[in-house]
Amino acid sequence: MANEVNKWVQEGHLWVWRYRNPSSNCRGWHFSADPPGCRSVMRLLDGMGGGPACHRTLSLASVTEDVLSVPNYSRQPLGRFDRLRIEFQPDVLDLTLNPDDDRLVLVVGNARLRKLVAAFADVEIGGGDFGIATSDSRRSDPWMFWWPPRAFWKST
């Protein structure tokens, strides 16, 4: 499995953002990807699952007005991030995502890996406007998933 992770090459577009001063229903992190981006992230996560601790860094596409128009929430994103480091730590129970300068660090373990893969699988086929729980705590912010802007469906 480590060999699959080492050979993995990113494809498609991936967007991750959060809003400045969000209302309660738009708090937390938001994700979108075009179909090739979804498949690419799923291949990476599948390669990580069940194996030893590992990580890969992905490029993030700019969160444009077209991307922000999908959730139709009029607030601007908080911060700009160029990269996403996905760290697989097998025994970690919760999903976490934290800023680290111009990148984000996402930590996932076996406990929530399948839910994260399933979210990208749903977006790949046109799903969106749903969230996944990041922990068993009711106080944790969900991660929201959105379909990509229409322009990205035409090219895939």
Burial class (CB in 10 A: 0-12, 13-18, 19+), 115: middle
Task: Give the pLDDT band (50/70/90) at residue 155.
Answer: very low
Please give the tally of structural domains in the chain. Answer: 1
Q: What range does the domain containing 118 cover? A: 2-154
Can you give the pLDDT at residue 75? 77
* CATH number of the domain where residue 150 is located: 3.30.1360
Give the tens place of pLDDT for each residue, 67-83.
988 988 877 888 889 99
Residue 156 pLDDT level (bands cut at 50, 70, 90)? very low
Convert the pLDDT of each residue in 117-126 to its tens digit: 999 999 999 9
> Tens of pLDDT along 121-148?
999 999 999 999 999 988 888 999 999 9
